[in-house]
Structure 1
Amino acid sequence: MARDPGRAHEFYAEVLGWEFGPARLGEGFSVAFREGIPVAGIGALPAAHTIPAAWTPYFAVDDADVTAARILERSGTVAVGPLAFGTGRAALAADLDGAVFGIWQGDAIPDWGMGGETAPAWLELRTRNAFDAAIFYGEVLEWACDHAGCCEVAYVEADNRILLRHAGRTVARLHGGTLAEHPDPHLRPRWRVYFRVPDVAAAVKAATALGGSSVSATGSDPVPREITLRDPDGALFSIAGPAGPGSSPQ
């Protein structure tokens, strides 16, 4: 959600190589494409609203009302919806620690997924307790179930990390240890979206030239494979280098 979608289009076109087309979600919304594949949506924030510009992950569900009830039963929060939105039903929610996410029932944009060679690459949750978060999302979104197409959950003991895999690809990472009471808002529990780029350094240079900024890099490499950026509206997102050996989110 952006305050100036036109400026956002210009920024992400240069930084991530996106093209934009109309969405079936109504006026003010557009779909970003990379190499002809839909990768993200951009909508206009109402001028009267003071909420910040932000990227929000939406998880596909079979029944938005049932999923919303599961969220509430497990002490999460449903802030908006479920309500009819375009050709589907959607809701905006928060987990036990306040990380914001959305749920989506329907097929507004066919073949929109995670983890392929084009963006987006994966999602990452920074939270206080990765195990608690995995249980919450697993119960709410039916991870590790016996239904066709469900995700596999794996634990990485070395760094208290939980991986969510689908069709052999890691599509999300859950990291524990972030303190919700920390005074730095960037360290509060939240979902971060990673978009794949062919050249991290070139993307950072383009972002800076267009009014964005670099927030932090992952690791100590002279040329990092992952880095977090802020767009001109203040929305945080991360980029990762090309897929290949050593560049997976595992």
Structure 2
Amino acid sequence: MTEAAEATRRPPGTPCWVSLMVHSLGSTEDFYTDLFGWEYEPGPEALGPYVRALLDGKEVAGIGEMPPDRHLPVAWTTYFATDDADTTAEVIRSCGGTVAVGPLDAGVAGRLAICSDPLGAIFGIWQAETHMGTRLHGAPGTPVWNELVTQDTSTVGKFYEHVFGHEAQTHPDASADFDYLTLLLQGRPAAAVHGVGRSLPHDRGPHWMTYFEVEDADTAADQVIRLGGSIVQPPHEGQRGRLATVADPEGAVFTIVRSAN
């Protein structure tokens, strides 16, 4: 690996990439182009048809197409950086998680595995080689936050601490009605765990939620509807500003949050 590549490798445990597997790649590309202004370039096709979404020529996310005979849930997947996918996969297993796919090579881009935590939330691990992950931050159309929505934070918070070295910090406003942990890396917020108890959607179970920045959450939510998507939770004020939870035409759920700029 070159010195430049080594310098941009993310610290282990950092959310470094988000990726979506769909049934119709072309129509999904069109939806996110109209919503976020994404352009695309071919990604590593070692695992099938796949594109990298670009803003200003910089990679922000990935979209792949499932084989026609696969009928898996369509959902955004958060990937965490690792320096050694095989070792991290073993730690995941030893801590009560599951490794469903891999670890395996994605061409020369890197090495990955698809895993789930002890309560079933799916996530990925990514060992970067030529592909370092998301390269543009803090602009509309980019992923800006990753939050685990699960039953409660106690058990699963310890899992992520052990696997990725996160420090789980209870939110200052936490109470019997608000179960929330911030996962810190080197003292900085990296992600969060939100325990929602019985409010967890029955059709989805525990899941990682990707937040994408937009200039205006209300306008973007209206645009999602016009483009054939749907509203899961209308625009409202949340922990990270004004936001809405929406779904694309294939049902992949994500959150849009108003830009702070």
Q: Normalising by structure 1, what TM-score?
A: 0.83
Distance 1:228 1:8, change over 3 A: same
- 2:244 matches 1:230: no
2:213/2:259 contact within 8 Å kept: yes
Of residues 163, 187, 194, the one that matches 1:175 is 194
User: In the alignment, does 2:163 pair up with 1:140?
Assistant: yes
TM-score normalised over the length of structure 2: 0.80
Shift of 1:164: 2.7
C-alpha contact (below 8 Å) 1:216/1:229 kept by paired residues: yes
- Are positions 1:184 and 2:202 aligned together? yes
Structure 2 CA distance for aligned equivalents of residues 116 and 167 of structure 1: 20
1:225 Cα offset (Å): 1.3
| Cα distance between partner residues in 2 of 1:46 and 1:178 | 35
Q: Percent identity?
A: 38
After superposition, give the CA deviation of every residue in 1:173-215 in whole Å (9 maximum; x if it has no partner). Answer: 21113349x67224x2110000001122222222111210111
In the aligned structure 2, how far is the partner of 1:113 from the partner of 1:143? 22
Question: Hey, what does 2:122 align to over in structure 1?
Answer: 100
For the pair 1:22 / 2:20, whether they are aligned, the reply is no
Residue equivalent to 1:129: 152
Distance 1:183 1:243, change over 3 A: closer
Aligned-partner residue type, residue 116 of structure 1:
G
Where do 5+ consecutive residues of structure 2 fail to align? 1-20
State the SS of the aligned residue for 1:13.
Answer: helix
In the alignment, what sits opposite 1:213? 230
The residue identity in structure 2 corresponding to 1:243 is A
Tell me: CA distance 1:69–1:232, structure 2 relative to 1, closer, same or farther (3 Å).
Answer: same
Q: Is the 8 A contact 1:15 1:204 kept in 2?
A: no
Distance 1:69 1:218 in 2: 40
> How many corresponding residue pairs?
232
* CA distance in 2: counterparts of 1:155 and 1:218, whole angstroms: 26
Q: Any residues of structure 2 matched to 1:24-103 within 5 Å, and which?
A: 24-26=44-46, 28-87=49-108, 88-103=110-125
Contact kept? 1:229, 1:237, Cα under 8 Å = yes
Is the CA contact (8 Å cut-off) linking 1:25 and 1:108 kept in structure 2? Answer: no
Partners of 1:76 and 1:95 within 8 A in 2: yes
Per mean C-alpha deviation after superposition, the further-off stretch among 21-30 and 97-106 is 21-30
Task: Give the Cα separation in 1 of the matches to 2:184 and 2:243.
Answer: 20
CA RMSD, aligned part only?
Answer: 2.4
1:202 aligns with 2:219: yes
Deviation at 1:143, TM superposition (A): 2.1
Three-state SS of the structure 1 residue aligned to 2:173 is helix
Quote the Cα distance in structure 1 between the aligned partners of 2:128 and 2:219.
Answer: 36
Q: Which runs of 5+ in 1 are unaligned?
A: 145-152, 245-250
Query: Against the structure 1 CA distance between its residues 237 and 74, is the aligned structure 2 distance closer, same or farther, given a 3 Å change threshold?
Result: same
**Superposition map of 1:148-167 within 5 A:** 153-159=168-174, 160-165=179-184
